[in-house]
Amino acid sequence: MPMPTVAPFPAARLRRNRRSPALRALVRETALSVDDLIWPVFVMEGKDASHDISSMPGVQRLTVDRVAKAAREAQDLGIPAICLFPYIDQGEKTEDCAGAWDPDNLSNRAIRAIKDAAPGIAVMTDIALDPYNINGHDGFVVDGEIVNDATVEALVKMALAQAEAGADILGPSDMMDGRIGAIRTALEAAGHQNVSIMSYAAKYASAFYGPFRDAVGASGALKGDKNTYQMDPANSDEALRLVERDLMEGADMVMVKPGMPYLDICRRVKDRFGAPTFAYQVSGEYAMLMAAAENGWLDGDKVMVESLMAFKRAGCDGILTYFAPRLARALNG
């Protein structure tokens, strides 16, 4: 039996430590900082234009020139990293997904433009075939099945093109088996041994990705569901096995996704491995909070801070969040 740490009332009045802002500050256990933020942004073709995403109020798709400008502003706000997601027109999607590893595709041009405009911000990418895939899946579909090993070969090509373009952190979000090891080996062989990998290690088959699929134009394309590769929301031990495997294969950082409904997973992962652990507060979580705030049902700034603080309390080192610039502004006061 552990020793009790609290004396019985009235010796211990736990309210004593809460009685003033100064005392609350002294005993505060976690802090939320601009350093914790990775900002996901949506890139589209064109020049000097943006497009609102109706299910994500305040979030827009941006052309490459505007993404570069946004990256400079993010850098000035002190945000350490930006994460790119391309919007590919329905007509450009193919079965062979060749756009995914084109050195001059939208993402790779955006990486270069950001590196030019804001060399101090780390650029993270997404590695998965879904933006380029005619059927909306993260892997190749053969006879109705999402095939693993052929997909991994394509993901390796995609990773190399992103590393070549100057990406700092590669983010495989596809959930195929063996892709971290394959990407790591290829990066080493190509002289990109210093490029980091943040594995979407515990990525659940979640309905909270809905607005994101609108944002990248994948909602209409997706045939069926992602249940044969993304995780069952009922599972927890499996997340630890996935994280362990991805770390063994060479991931530098791991991610749990979605965030708020999976804080228990964040805590277990951090406690077990102590590795740099991130959560993705996904599009649906953002949409929920924003919808309630816009209706006047919740205080938007307060739930933003409270929801992001929860990730730090759960053991995360950082958070991918669409609130990044808004939180940075709020924290910079």
Q: Which of these ranges, 4-12, 102-110, 205-213, 243-251, lies near ligand PBG under the rule CB under 6 A?
A: 205-213
- Based on its alpha-carbon atoms, the radius of gyration of the chain, rounded to whole angstroms, reads 21
Q: Are 216 and 85 in contact (CB under 8 A)?
A: yes
Buried b (16+ CB within 10 A) or exposed e, 199-219: bbbbbbebebbebbbbbbbbe
In whole angstroms, how close is the CB of 48 to ligand PBG at the nearest point? 25
Query: Of the candidates 126, 168, 246, 249, which one interacts with ligand PBG according to CB under 6 A?
Result: 126
Query: Of the candidates 113, 128, 254, 256, which one interacts with ligand PBG according to CB under 6 A?
Result: 128
Among positions 72-111, residues that touch ligand PBG (CB under 6 A) are none
How far, in Å, are 12, 22, 30, 314 from residue 26 at the CA level? 18, 6, 11, 20
Residue 253 found at the interface with ligand PBG (CB under 6 A): no
How far, in Å, are 34, 183, 259, 281, 307 from residue 208 at the CA level? 25, 28, 10, 10, 15
Residue 36 found at the interface with ligand PBG (CB under 6 A): no
Does 47 qualify as catalytic in the annotation?
no
Q: Phi and psi for 303 in degrees, rounded to 5? A: -70, -30
Amino acid at 77: L
Residue 53 found at the interface with ligand PBG (CB under 6 A): no
| Token pair in block for residue 179 | 């892709």
Rank residues 171 and 300 by Cβ distance to ligand PBG and give the closer one: 171
Of the candidates 93, 226, 257, 270, the residue annotated as catalytic is 257
Rounded-to-integer distance, Cα 36 and Cα 324, Å: 9
Give the DSSP letter of residue 88. Answer: -
Among positions 145-184, residues that touch ligand PBG (CB under 6 A) are 173
Does 302 qualify as catalytic in the annotation?
no
Q: Which of these ranges, 42-50, 123-131, 140-148, 237-245, lies near ligand PBG under the rule CB under 6 A?
A: 123-131
How buried is 93 (Cβ within 10 angstroms: 0-12 exposed, 13-18 middle, 19+ buried)? Answer: buried
Rank residues 41 and 121 by Cβ distance to ligand PBG and give the closer one: 41
Q: Are 222 and 213 in contact (CB under 8 A)?
A: yes
Q: Are 321 and 74 in contact (CB under 8 A)?
A: no
In whole angstroms, how close is the CB of 116 to ligand PBG at the nearest point? 25
Among positions 207-246, residues that touch ligand PBG (CB under 6 A) are 209, 212-213, 226
Rank residues 135 and 283 by Cβ distance to ligand PBG and give the closer one: 283
Q: Are 126 and 94 in contact (CB under 8 A)?
A: no
In residues, how long is the chain? 333
Q: Are 40 and 88 in contact (CB under 8 A)?
A: no
In whole angstroms, how close is the CB of 127 to ligand PBG at the nearest point? 8
Query: Of the candidates 130, 168, 246, 249, which one interacts with ligand PBG according to CB under 6 A?
Result: 130
In whole angstroms, how close is the CB of 248 to ligand PBG at the nearest point? 22
Rank residues 182 and 280 by Cβ distance to ligand PBG and give the closer one: 280
In whole angstroms, how close is the CB of 222 to ligand PBG at the nearest point? 7
Nearest residue to ligand PBG, scored by beta-carbon proximity: 212
Q: Which of these ranges, 21-29, 87-95, 125-133, 238-246, lies near ligand PBG under the rule CB under 6 A?
A: 125-133
Of the candidates 69, 93, 157, 203, the residue annotated as catalytic is 203
Rounded-to-integer distance, Cα 11 and Cα 73, Å: 52
Rank residues 112 and 209 by Cβ distance to ligand PBG and give the closer one: 209
Rule CB under 6 A: which residues touch ligand PBG?
Answer: 126, 128, 130, 138, 173, 209, 212-213, 226, 282-283
Catalytic residues: 203, 257
